[in-house]
Structure 1
């Protein structure tokens, strides 16, 4: 099953935790996805799944303009890892697959 599906994700940032719904889909072997937060919905890019290791990028404009890079490890219907925005400190990321 891998990363495909809908996920409830928590990102613990220096300014507080954010709740975001992620959706990952696969078509003809290519992964795509989106992230829907309180302020906006954005497309994911450069999604790479190598077994249980998944990385992707996204840009947001709210609450501030940031380019984020994610690096997570899957464990069944959960994942954990981090995100990074440039030189800012890493933020812990955890997700649970929606049923």
Structure 2
């Protein structure tokens, strides 16, 4: 599908811009893969894909223990959307196919 492959994403956060890599695979509406940043990589979970709409979550421990919830749209070789950080609100992210 359109989202499968490797991505470089940039997240706008209260601590400034943060960069991460994504490796995504979709099958029957389910999105799986890994997300890495600052030397740490983890499995995404609760991933879904429907047409151009994508969503996934990742648990991080740096700079603090959080679950990040991403929702976005894929358009060709780009992706954009929102990253939810629980009580801290939502922040934009953008991505380009690697």
1:23 touches 1:35 (CA, 8 Å); kept in 2? yes
Gaps of 5+ in 1: none
Match of 1:63 in 2: 63
> What do residues 15-70 of structure 1 show as CA deviations (whole Å, max 9, x unaligned)?
111110100024x6443111111141111001100100101111000111111110
TM-score by length of 1: 0.91
Distance (Å, rounded) in 2 between the aligned partners of 1:23 and 1:39: 15
Distance (Å, rounded) in 2 between the aligned partners of 1:87 and 1:39: 26
Moved over 4 A (4+): none
Gaps of 5+ in 2: none
Match of 1:21 in 2: 21
SS at match of 1:93: strand
TM-score by length of 2: 0.92
2:45 touches 2:56 (CA, 8 Å); kept in 1? yes
2:56 touches 2:69 (CA, 8 Å); kept in 1? yes
Distance (Å, rounded) in 2 between the aligned partners of 1:39 and 1:63: 12
Match of 1:84 in 2: 84
SS at match of 2:88: coil
- Aligned Cα RMSD in Å? 1.3
Match of 1:35 in 2: 35
Post-superposition offset of 1:89: 1.9
